[in-house]
A and B are shown apart, each in its own frame.
Chain A
């Protein structure tokens, strides 16, 4: 049973445009959500997170939106850069707002083209 789903295995975006990565979840106990970026042969790198008491969090080019009623979150990257090309994982935690015991999606491979 996949509790965190990333339904788009891949996404291609032109440099300078907006990248939108989507994530859906089914467990209503999740109260903290994170996005990670992963390059081959490296561990996941934390990008941005959001608590369930918020609906938006921004950090530079990265913005995460949370729609609790739809159990949906999205990551917006503006503007997209070639260095953003990587696999992006959405993760969720039900551990009282801490980044522990994470449930991950299967990832979306983002390719930013010139």
Chain B
């Protein structure tokens, strides 16, 4: 079991509404990434936060936005929800800012996800 927790676990929203998803990162991790996993697909990178700054963004529109707080927890906000936003949203925490040596493993630990349904 990882130390990454997400809330809520399930959510139903109406098209056009706004939603906020939350993630607490694993102790010692300063980087949080958000992913969207549609049914039958692999997770797709939305964006990443490192030390409270956005540090990379995937191919998602600006209505997907985020925040990272001083304790490294994070929020994902989605405005003007569309039916296609229905998906599992995953948060991952990792130790960013490090170049991995030959003998180190580095991992991104995922939370259990938030299942968002837009109707």
Contact = CB atoms under 8 A, between A and B. Distances in A.
B73 interface: no
A101 to B, nearest CB: 5
A46 B113 contact: no
A23 to B, nearest CB: 11
B44 interface: yes
Given A89-B42, A101-B48, A45 B102 contact: no
Interface in A60-95: 89, 91, 95
B108 interface: yes
B110 A43 contact: yes
Q: How many A residues touch the partner, as a band? A: 20 to 34
Interface string B58-91: 1000000000000000000000000000000010
A30 interface: no
Interface residues of A: mostly helix, strand, loop or mixed?
A: loop
Given A97-B99, A100-B33, A105 B112 contact: no
18 contacts: A42-B113, A43-B110, A43-B111, A43-B113, A45-B110, A49-B106, A89-B43, A91-B42, A97-B100, A98-B99, A98-B100, A99-B94, A101-B48, A102-B35, A103-B45, A104-B35, A104-B44, A107-B41
Interface of A: 4, 6, 32, 34, 36, 41-46, 49, 51, 53-54, 89, 91, 95-107
Closest 10 CB pairs of A and B: A104-B42, A43-B110, A97-B100, A99-B108, A46-B107, A44-B110, A43-B112, A101-B56, A104-B43, A106-B42
Given A43-B90, A46-B108, 18 more contacts: A34-B107, A43-B4, A43-B110, A49-B106, A89-B42, A97-B100, A98-B98, A98-B100, A99-B107, A100-B56, A100-B96, A101-B45, A101-B56, A102-B45, A103-B45, A104-B35, A104-B44, A106-B40
